[in-house]
Amino acid sequence: MGGIMAGSAGAEHGSGADLPLRFPYGRPEFLGLSPDEVECSADHIARPILILSKETRRLPWTTGYAEVINAGKSTHNEDQASCEVLFVKKKAGGANSTPNKNSSTKRRSSLPNGEGLQLKDNSDTDGINLYYWSLFDGHAGSGAAVVASKLLQHHILEQLQEIVDILRNTAVLPPTCLGEEPDNPATNSRMLTRAASLRGGVGAPGSPSTPPTRFFTEKKIPHECLVIGAIESAFKEMDLQIERERTVYNISGGCTALVVVYLLGKLYVANAGDSRAIIIRNGEVIPMSSEFTPETERQRLQYLAYMQPHLLGNEFTHLEFPRRVQRKEVGKRMLYRDFNMTGWAYKTIEEDDLKFPLIYGEGKKARVMATIGVTRGLGDHDLKVHDSNIYIKPFLSSSPEVRVYDLLQYEHGPDDVLILATDGLWDVLLNEEVAEAVTNFLPNCDPDDPHRYTLAAQDLVMRARGVLKDRGWRISNDRLGSGDDISVYVIPLIHGNKQS
pLDDT tens string 14-49? 557 899 999 999 999 999 999 999 999 999 999 999
CA dist 430 and 65 (Å) reads 19
What is the pLDDT confidence band of residue 187, given thresholds at 50, 70 and 90?
A: very low
The residues, any chain, with a CB within 8 Å of residue 213's CB and separated by 6 or more, are 205
**Beta-carbon neighbour count of residue 187 at 10 Å?**
7
| pLDDT of amino acid 57 | 67
- CATH number of this structure's domain 29-90+128-171+221-292+399-498, picked from the four choices 3.60.40.10, 3.40.50.1370, 3.30.1380.10, 3.20.20.80: 3.60.40.10
Query: Could you tell me the CA-to-CA distances from 300 to 293, 297, 362, 367 in Å, in that order?
Result: 11, 5, 17, 14
Mean pLDDT (the chain, rounded): 88
Query: Could you tell me the CA-to-CA distances from 337 to 330, 346, 347 in Å, in that order?
Result: 17, 9, 9
What is the pLDDT confidence band of residue 206, given thresholds at 50, 70 and 90?
A: low
| pLDDT of amino acid 115 | 40
CA of residue 24 relative to chain centroid, distance:
22
| pLDDT of amino acid 211 | 58
CA dist 497 and 463 (Å) reads 30
CA 205, 210, 215, 216 dihedral sign is negative
Residue 225 has pLDDT above 60, yes or no: yes
DSSP three-state, residue 389: coil
| pLDDT of amino acid 498 | 74
Higher pLDDT: 28 or 218? It is: 28
Looking at residue 397, what DSSP letter applies?
A: B
Q: Which of 57-66, 238-247, 339-348 has the lowest mean pLDDT?
A: 57-66
Domain boundaries, the chain: 29-90+128-171+221-292+399-498, 297-373
- Residue by residue, DSSP assigns 365-385 as G-EETTTBS-SB-EE-TT-B-
| pLDDT of amino acid 58 | 84
What is the pLDDT confidence band of residue 309, given thresholds at 50, 70 and 90?
A: very high
DSSP three-state, residue 133: strand
| pLDDT of amino acid 198 | 52
Overall pTM > 0.75? yes
| pLDDT of amino acid 496 | 80
Name the nearest CA neighbour of 128 among 223, 58, 258: 223
Does residue 354 contact residue 327 with C-beta atoms inside 8 Å?
yes
Stated as kind and residue range, the H or E segment containing 337 is none
Q: What percent of the chain has pLDDT over 70?
A: 83
Strands, E assignment, 153-305: 254-263, 266-272, 276-281, 284-287
